Structure 1
Amino acid sequence: MPAALLALFVGALIGALLTIVVVAAMRARQRAEAEAHPRLPEAVTAMLDVLDDAAIVTDPSGIVVATSPSSTWVGAVAGERLEQEELRDLMKEARHAGMSEAQTMRIRAGRISREPRLVVARSAQIGQGFILVSVRDISEQERLQQMRQDFIQNTSHELKTPVGAIALLAEALEMAADDPEQVRRFSERMSAEADRLGQLTGRIMNLSRLQAADELIDVGDVAVDEVVHAAVEAQQVTAAGANVELVVGGDRGLFVHGDGRVLIEAVSNLVSNAIAYSPAGSHVGVGVRGVDNAVEIAVTDQGIGIAEDDQKRVFERFFRADQARSRRTGGTGLGLSIVKHAIQRHGGEVRLWSREGHGSTFTIRLPLADPPAAPEKPKRRKKRAQKAPATGKEDIA
């Protein structure tokens, strides 16, 4: 009996040991399979779906296994390696260091991108060998910061000229106090510089307002006829002084949606530029037409034209294609920049055609709007005829 119990105990012990060995082997196999073919946690996938920045997850071999919806611009494709060597190096550093790594770098976005983008990339290890890299594109912030710096520098430079001229003229005026002719001449020049300064500061404020505002304020249905008429009327005196004829034609009765005051200023700037660069005896044409659900307002001159190299820069702030003529006419170099931003605020664009010696045509293109509904006329009530009580005659009103 004791021998049977002993055999039973030994058999149970051997069975338990075999079970433990089998379970351990199965678990080791599962761990090996998990290490060879790791699975991305579902929580990570859910996190990727709500990220605003581009986010990419790669497996231990560097193959992309998941991306966020906003990462398409990076060019990451599931099942392939990341193209950007800079990002791959950052992910290697995170894997070796075992902690988050962040760098500011320039990368090319996708296969067709030519210009590198400035990004802030951060990489960290998650799960079993997976590496997450998030990429935030700060190229636009860099561009805006550069624009602000350029704007401040250009504005300071442009303001120094009239301010310095006024200071010198004031000093000359004081020294020539006993000479009436000199006083008159210096006073006229000082007045001209003051006007130039006022015009420059006014246009700087207009441009800053257009760039800073997210939306237009006074928006409604605007008659293109009224915009063109007001813009041309504002430049009639200037045109007459330059012996330039203003000619208006084209389609009538068209409407756009926007701020009438801003649109008048934009068209007026184009007409003013056309007059300034037109020879005496020529004419400036303002034409309107409706085409493809859009309104086009074209301002054409017979002036000197714009060189091909300068055509790409004419909408830059403070850029002047003809420096000498701008000094004579008091140009600020801001008119076309104001036009560009004003039309972009209305969802439109400005196009340029020009040939040296043959003149230029600036065309504003805006979305066409339906004409506003005409107000209903009040219905007149007919008065019933009433008999006069005294005479018996009918009094018809």
Structure 2
Amino acid sequence: MTRSFPLRRSLVVRLTAVSLLIALGSIAATAWLAVQTTTRAIQQEQGQALSGDATIYTEVLGFAAANHTWDQVGPKLKALSDQTGRRIVLTTLDRRVLGDSGGAPVTLPVKATASVDPLHVDPVLLPQAGTSGIDPRAVGPYRLPAAEHSDLDGLARKVASCLTDLGFPSQVRDAASGRPQLTGLDPLAARYFAAKCGVYDLAEATPTEAAALAKLNDAVNSCLEAQKQPPVQLGLDFEALGETDQRRSQGCVDSARRAQLTPYVAPPALLFTLGPGGSQLPTFTLSKENLTRILAVTGGVLVLAAAITVLVARRLSRPLRALTEAAQQDRPAPVKSRDEVGYLAAAFNDLTARRERIEEQRKAMVSDIAHELRNPLNVIRGRLEAAEDGHLPFDRALTTSLLEETVLLQHIVEDLQDLAAADAGRLRLHPEPVDAAELAGHVAAAHADRAAAAGVTLTVSAHGDTGLTADPVRLRQVVSNLVTNAVRHTPPGGLVTIHVSSTVDEVVIAVADTGAGIAAEDLPHVFERFWRAEKSRSRQTGGSGLGLAIVRHLVRAHGGTVTAKSEVDTGSTFTVRLPKTDLRGEGAGVRDAQDPHVKGQNQPRDQKGITRD
């Protein structure tokens, strides 16, 4: 029990600490961002009140972009005031009034609603300005005179008519500079019919645009030269032609454009929007009380998060404690939850049950091995003691009897070695082309005398192409064990038949007998080690009890299957199905005869076990 406390303490402490750190970091970051965002919204000239006055700001900014002074701004402010119901006041940066929508003089707020400067526009307030911050309506020297506009407008309409005839309609719209542009044009038309319809001619700069663009290029390249950067050539879209890295020259382009447009736009001004009658619009303030309130709420949320984290950590650690105690006491874990811990407990309980079954099987196997070895050893010892005491003569009959028991011992030990090699994945196979029908005939010939002595008829029946790739020694061992068992359990006058047939992918070897058969409840156990239907373990009716277990391992090593069908007083049939494919490189423990890592590769193949159980 004491060994589970460190695990519980470590889990709870670590889970709580990590959760609290995450909660503290997220809450602190949220609170800091909220305070910073609110403070910035209050302090910035483009404050929160601007969201309701976007129309006013955009219209006033457009006036500044199109006029180089504020002299005629009064009517614009009056119209916007009538439209929005706000009083609008425009001043210079030193708060000298430039225009007022009307009414008695009022005291202006400390902070302006917004700063109006067409050359330094906040992209959030006017997304069309892009990253340059220059109002696209500020065109300055790029504004087309009437003659150039007329020529381009005629060309644009011809291009649009040409594209319409080709099935790509578009519209002609004037940009802020007066340059006609095609809108709604399909990109495919611009690509495939540009030359045919004169789209490229429409994109050519006019003399006015070319002169302004030349001055801009000179200014930009002078800036780049001062920075020891290569010169660039700008197009009408103010982007460097052919340059892949626009960021390299963007700073010089923006500064040169501002310098070029400054004489053509109104100077920066402050915009004030007031309520009806000149009253100030409500604003947000972040006082000490508000700051204290935010901190208090943050602290409360943190305490609540800490409490919930501790409860969750304790709840999560409880089943782990039970699982740890069960592991220490070597018993199943009483965890029934349907989560990851429950799955872990179920896996632990399955592992515990398997370990108990394996331990029971180990004990049973040790007992079986001891029993199997005890019988021949007792016979050998008894006969040697009888001979030593003079009760039996030291003649050929005695040595023959002792040799039979010694061979039986060797038989059992070799079977155990084969099973141990199969369990460890070290069962070596030497695959080569084999004719299963021919191999079955050799096995039948080897067992002919034993079958005749038992009064059993042993035959072979073969059909089809029975060639496959297999280890001939191990395959003969499989068939020999099945035939030995069949002959042993078939009464005199019975019949044992080795059927060999084939399918497209398999060779089938079936050993059928007309013996006593196996009961249905015993049939699932026939391939278990040391299992016999005769519980008396009599060797008159059973061998070592390892033959069929070895058969199963050898068949699996070949990538095949073995099954058993039987009826009491009718007979049994053991069927082996083996693939015809090459075994080399397939399956655990299967090695080619030329594998340099297999010891004894040049030694003769082991012929043991050909007539074993």
Is the TM value for this pair above 0.5?
A: yes
Distance 2:383 2:578 in 1: 45
Does residue 159 (structure 1) correspond to residue 373 (structure 2)? The answer is yes
Indicate conservation of the 8 Å contact 1:216/1:259, yes or no.
no
Aligned residues of 1:196 and 1:330 also touching (Cα < 8 A): no
CA distance in structure 2 between the aligned counterparts of 1:238 and 1:183, rounded to whole angstroms? 26
Q: Secondary structure at the match of 1:280?
A: coil
List alignment gaps of at least 5 residues for structure 1: 1-13, 39-57, 64-87, 95-99, 112-121, 124-131, 373-397
Q: Measure how far apart 1:327 and its partner are.
A: 1.8
- Report how far residue 284 of structure 1 moved: 0.7
In the alignment, structure 1 residue 21 sits paired with structure 2 residue 247 = no
**Structure 1 CA distance for aligned equivalents of residues 490 and 381 of structure 2:** 33
C-alpha deviation, 1:282, in angstroms = 2.2
Q: Which residues in structure 2 correspond to 1:225-374 (within 5 Å)? A: 225-291=437-503, 293-322=505-534, 326-328=538-540, 331-369=543-581
Question: How far off its partner does 1:300 sit?
Answer: 0.3
CA contact (8 A) 1:320 1:326 kept: no
- 1:174 counterpart residue number: 388
In structure 1, the residue matched to 2:319 is 90
Distance 1:135 1:305 in 2: 40
Is residue 482–residue 511 contact of structure 2 (8 Å, CA) maintained in 1? yes
Identity across matched positions, percent: 31
- Change beyond 3 A, Cα 1:109–1:303: farther
1:33-48 equivalent positions in 2, closer than 5 A: none
Please report how far the alpha carbon of residue 162 of structure 1 lies from its aligned counterpart in structure 2 after TM superposition: 0.7
Q: Which has the larger radius of gyration?
A: 2
Which runs of 5 or more structure 2 residues have no equivalent in the other structure? 1-285, 585-613
Return the structure number with greater strand share: 1
Compared with structure 1, are the counterparts of its residues 31 and 324 closer, same or farther at alpha carbon in structure 2 (3 Å cutoff)? closer
CA shift for structure 1 position 208 = 2.1
Deviation of 1:173 (Å): 1.7
- Following superposition of structure 1 onto structure 2, how do residues 127-142 of structure 1 map, counting pairs within 5 Å? 136=348, 138=351, 139-142=353-356
Check conservation: 2:456, 2:494, Cα contact below 8 A: yes
Relative to structure 1, the CA distance from residue 251 to residue 218 in structure 2 (aligned partners, 3 Å threshold; closer, same or farther) is same
Classify 1:312/1:134 alpha carbon distance in 2 versus 1 (closer, same or farther; 3 Å): closer
What residue in structure 2 maps to residue 106 of structure 1?
A: 332
The answer (yes or no) to whether the contact 1:326–1:332 under 8 Å persists in 2 is: no
Please identify which structure carries the higher helix content.
2
1:189 aligns with 2:415: no
Does the 8 Å CA contact 1:225/1:252 hold for their aligned counterparts?
Answer: no
Matched residue, 1:150: 364
Structure 1 residue 242: deviation in Å? 1.8
Q: Secondary structure at the match of 1:327?
A: coil
Query: Residue 172 of structure 1 contacts residue 186 of structure 1 at CA under 8 Å; is this kept in 2?
Result: no
Residues 1:184 and 1:151: Cα distance change in structure 2 (over 3 Å): same
Paired residues of 2:421 and 2:427 also in contact (CA < 8 A): no
Distance 1:169 1:323, change over 3 A: farther
Kindly provide the CA deviation profile for residues 26-53 of structure 1, in whole angstroms up to 9, marking residues without a partner as x.
35336646866x7xxxxxxxxxxxxxxx
Deviations 1:72-105 (A, max 9, x none): xxxxxxxxxxxxxxxx9624769xxxxx767254
Please tell me whether the aligned partners of residues 326 and 333 of structure 2 are also in contact (alpha carbons under 8 angstroms): no
Counterpart residue identity of residue 159, structure 1:
L
What number of residue pairs does the alignment pair up?
A: 291
Shift of 1:344: 2.2
Q: What residue number does 1:10 align with?
A: none
The 3 A distance-change label for structure 1 pair 93 and 155 is: closer
The answer for the alignment partner of 2:419 in structure 1 is 207
C-alpha offsets along residues 143-199 of structure 1, whole Å, 9 cap, x if unaligned? 44443333222111210111011111011123336x75x956544433332332232
Compared CA separation, residues 108 and 225, structure 1 to 2 (3 A): farther
**Superposition deviation, residue 200 in structure 1:** 2.1
Length-normalised TM-score, structure 2: 0.41
The Cα shift of 1:306 comes to 1.3
Q: 1:324 to 1:142 in 2, by over 3 A?
A: closer
Alpha-carbon shift at residue 233 of structure 1 (Å): 3.1
CA distance in 1, matches of 2:321, 2:387: 72
**Take 1:89 and 1:371, find their aligned partners in 2: how far apart are those partners?**
52
Q: 1:26 to 1:254 in 2, by over 3 A?
A: same
In the aligned structure 1, how far is the partner of 2:367 from the partner of 2:537?
23
